[in-house]
């Protein structure tokens, strides 16, 4: 649509000008948003289907049995024994709660990993969207996390590995939000998300370190604030 109006020249004089008005842009934006959400929903369904396929078929592995044994212990014993091994206690505490609610069999034991694998898909999309502001990148991240063979494999294993990407992606999103806007609420949220990832698997220190270096390179002041908050949260948990 074309509309006639008045414009101002560099000398301050008024002169007629033609302005083009595009009323199709809101419709195009709505259609792109609808397509994005359909792709994200489809990726979640695909992730669930891939992880549920023959979920109960393989026999329980030794380390999966170790997890189930943790779930049968009293709460104080779960924390004590988890403190003696290589892995942090958060997953064992989560599984202890899960096992007390649903009982013990191959399907229910591994279903907690399935939930983590499906949750990874929207978190990957949200983190990618926060990082790039591009729906196409966010949709690609969701689809990749739904079908990546390594994530599908660990999404069927009753261990903490399926929850590791959940913690890292949550920390990524929280860090990006805190970098974007300086508030103590967002900084504390980033620290809690960082502790959440670390207490699932200690080796997440490496991707988290890269994220904090990125945040610090974006702006040193917010990076120092994030590091300080995360240190307090982690030390408090110890």
Q: What ranges do the domains of the chain cover? A: 2-237
Q: What is the pLDDT of residues 158-213, one digit of tens each?
A: 999 999 999 999 999 999 999 888 899 999 999 999 999 999 999 999 999 999 99
The mean pLDDT value of the chain amounts to 85
The tokens describing 45, both together, are: 């369904």
Instruction: List CB contacts of 28: < 8 A, sequence separation 6 or more.
Output: none
H helices of 148-238, in order, are 149-154, 164-180, 184-198, 205-218, 220-237
pLDDT digits (tens, 9 = 90+) for 70-125: 999 999 999 898 888 888 999 999 999 999 999 999 999 999 999 999 999 999 99
Tell me the whole-structure pTM to 2 decimals.
Answer: 0.80
CA distance 41 to 23: 29
Q: Is the pLDDT reported for residue 233 higher than 50?
A: no
- DSSP lists the bridge partners of residue 16 as 6
Q: Do the Cβ atoms of 233 and 191 come closer than 8 Å?
A: yes
């Amino acid at each position: 649509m074309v509309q006639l109006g008045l414009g101002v020249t560099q000398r301050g004089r008024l002169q007629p000008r033609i302005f083009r008005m595009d009323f199709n842009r809101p419709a195009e934006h709505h259609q792109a948003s609808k397509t994005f959400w359909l792709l994200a929903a489809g990726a979640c369904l695909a992730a669930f289907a891939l992880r549920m396929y023959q979920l109960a078929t393989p026999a329980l592995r030794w380390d999966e049995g170790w997890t189930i044994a943790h779930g049968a212990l009293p709460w104080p014993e779960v924390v004590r024994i988890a403190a003696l091994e290589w892995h942090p206690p958060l997953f064992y505490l989560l599984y202890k709660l899960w096992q007390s609610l649903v009982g013990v069999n191959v399907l229910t034991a591994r279903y907690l990993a399935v939930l983590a694998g499906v949750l990874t898909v929207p978190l990957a999309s949200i983190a990618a969207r926060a990082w790039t502001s591009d729906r196409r990148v966010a949709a690609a991240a969701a689809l990749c996390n739904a079908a990546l063979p390594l994530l599908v494999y660990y999404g069927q294993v009753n261990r903490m590995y399926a929850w590791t990407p959940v913690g890292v992606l949550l920390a990524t999103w929280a860090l990006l939000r805190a970098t974007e806007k300086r508030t103590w609420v967002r900084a504390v949220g980033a620290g809690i998300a960082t502790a959440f990832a670390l207490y699932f698997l200690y080796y997440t220190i490496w991707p988290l370190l890269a994220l904090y270096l990125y945040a610090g390179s974006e702006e040193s002041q917010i990076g120092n604030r994030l590091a300080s908050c995360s240190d307090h949260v982690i030390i408090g948990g110890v």
